[in-house]
A and B are shown apart, each in its own frame.
Chain A
């Protein structure tokens, strides 16, 4: 059974069954991720409904330019990721390695810009906790907004870091020619994960950066 294909795990009957299992596995995992972020979105929605003014006020203190650039960077990285999957499907090793590296590069750029943004928040005393200061009557509620800002973007960044680590492993394996047109499930699965992390950002960006801007 398993001798017929090197990458077929012993518990599966054929590569098709394995591919189905792996695909279903990653989608089921993404459902858990949706619910994981869902808890944060629920809390955000509740407080934003309670304190609309403070949230709009706080949102104006986010850097819409850097956030916008980051959105573009991330969407581009989804493109390179999709191209990497395509390259894997067509068995083009060099293109696969190149696109994976490009995706990693864009991911790192995103995180770099995020670090700069976080740095500005530190300088402006907008990080929740004892050092937090904000002029005006809504200081507490603004701090709540920034609590969600850091929790949500922090969780998102953590997922990016995990994604970059997985991509790095894939680059090595692709370089060693482990993938072929017949076997590229890890690339595909990582791609699905990466797109998911992007989509989370697509929701985060307007919810955090674009409140009250018309």
Chain B
């Protein structure tokens, strides 16, 4: 807690004066585990999702190692099934879904709207504990023999035939869902009721709009996944027949319920990533973002449309042709708001005074990779083409371009961008640029060959393949090793910077936005007094853009 000495220093601020902020206010373990400060909870999430990221990555390493040769020489097919299942489960439910909302969103939403904290700080802490509890269940499932259903839990395999820890895993994912619901609920209430005076909806940063849209999906979609998993557990435990064709049930019902959540869940991952990019592009172009309201509404449009496209996962699952047609058209519609964002980002760059700091490199990477991922999504939304590439590596490559090339690029860009605000330290710029470059190269080498593999007909989820696919698979595995190295570099220099990094000023990027208007790191209560919103977001001076 504060001491008289610290307060005395505050009267004469010097660059080295120990100022009280949210990190040094208390060092005890208890002060972290029982904190209700959104900034500390964001760091709790940051730590735990980083652990899960590297765990999920470890499974990916084993998958790519196995696929170096056409024969199944490293693992048996059962083990391989468990590897890709754990990789998918961990990366989706324990890394991607919480990544940007629970870390950057938690940290920034109250700051960007001029609030002292989220509306329900204790619920916020509870959401982290729920997340950890769900994670422990899933880890137990992994340790006690793993689960082999794929992250999609398709019935009747998961309910009747799988001899693995489906129950434990389903419980883990069920529990974690509630952490997502609580985060979404907290954001919605906070953004509605706690904006600083004068901060009208159209003065909010686009990051807030994206988090609002994401939160809508979280509270509308996640409960459906929850009840679906309850039914899977009941079916598996009691054999009540809801998804079992032998008892009159319908396994396709499961797919409808599952994708009703799990397709929108993709937008939980990509929407916040998109508007991290909006923040980065506008800051490093020194220019107001182009078409603010179009970008803002495109977030909402994606959230809404996302709920009406789930059937495109089921083009070959006995869904009627007419339903397939409708879902195909609706899926094409999602491309419109996505393209609006991409075009507006590029228009923001036009005549901007662009600089190439690390976060901006990630933003550029995002735009290119997301565009490829998005366009190949249109291939998959076309009925005829989907029948050809369904269940192949084409699909794997597509969603990794969105999830890894999109969401993780944006997440890393965002973490670099706000790292000074979170920790009060700068990361080493040279190393960071090198890391971004290595990740970009490694990513493309890993996943571009998979588009070709899929198009040539290599199915996903097999540990063996015909020898003619070996060259492309070796390329992909080689890329994965570069990508893995790329992810370790930021890990090392971020940890290094905590102790040895240059001390960050309050606003190292000269960015607009309320989060930059107080010292780094923030004091516990964010703002000494409630700020007043008087200008539009991204109000960069026009002449700034002309200075080269």
User: With A and B bound together, what is the CA distance between A130 and B228 in angstroms?
Assistant: 22
Contact of B193 among A17, A35, A51 (CB under 8 A): A17
We find that the number of chain A residues with CB closer than 8 angstroms to chain B is 38
Contact of A20 among B193, B221, B231 (CB under 8 A): B193
User: With A and B bound together, what is the CA distance between A12 and B221 in angstroms?
Assistant: 29
Q: Which of A109-153 contact B (CB under 8 A)?
A: 128-130, 140-141, 143-144, 147-148, 150-151
Whether the pair A11, B249 counts as a contact (CB closer than 8 A) is no
Interface residues on B, range: 35 or more
Whether A206 sits at the interface, judged by CB under 8 Å, is no
Q: Is the interface of A mostly helix, strand, loop or mixed?
A: helix
Contact of B240 among A33, A37, A39, A129 (CB under 8 A): A129
Whether B115 sits at the interface, judged by CB under 8 Å, is yes
Whether B361 sits at the interface, judged by CB under 8 Å, is no
Given known contacts A129-B239, A147-B240, is B226 in contact with A36 (CB within 8 Å)?
yes
Proximity bits, B208-230, A CB within 8 Å = 1, else 0: 00000000000111111011101
User: With A and B bound together, what is the CA distance between A33 and B192 in angstroms?
Assistant: 20
Given known contacts A25-B119, A144-B247, A151-B234, is B194 in contact with A31 (CB within 8 Å)?
no
Total number of A-B contacts with CB less than 8 angstroms? 116
User: With A and B bound together, what is the CA distance between A20 and B116 in angstroms?
Assistant: 16
Q: Which of B179-226 contact A (CB under 8 A)?
A: 181, 185, 188-190, 192-194, 219-224, 226
Q: Which of B253-306 contact A (CB under 8 A)?
A: 253, 256-257
Whether the pair B231, A151 counts as a contact (CB closer than 8 A) is yes
The residue in A28, A29, A130, A141 that gathers the most chain B C-beta atoms within 10 A of its C-beta is A28
User: With A and B bound together, what is the CA distance between A129 and B240 in angstroms?
Assistant: 5
Whether the pair A40, B219 counts as a contact (CB closer than 8 A) is no
Smallest CB gap from B178: residue in A: A32
Smallest CB gap from A42: residue in B: B257
Whether the pair A21, B223 counts as a contact (CB closer than 8 A) is no
Given known contacts A11-B117, A21-B194, is B219 in contact with A28 (CB within 8 Å)?
yes
User: With A and B bound together, what is the CA distance between A147 and B222 in angstroms?
Assistant: 23
Given the complex, which residues of B lie within 8 Å of A68, measured CB to CB? none
Whether the pair B194, A129 counts as a contact (CB closer than 8 A) is no
Given the complex, which residues of A lie within 8 Å of B119, measured CB to CB? 11-12, 21, 25
Whether the pair B247, A140 counts as a contact (CB closer than 8 A) is yes
Whether the pair A144, B248 counts as a contact (CB closer than 8 A) is yes
Given known contacts A11-B194, A32-B219, A37-B227, is B241 in contact with A140 (CB within 8 Å)?
yes
Whether the pair A35, B248 counts as a contact (CB closer than 8 A) is no
Using CB atoms and an 8 Å cutoff, list the residues of chain B in contact with chain A. Answer: 110, 115-121, 181, 185, 188-190, 192-194, 219-224, 226-228, 230-231, 234, 238-242, 247-250, 253, 256-257, 525, 530
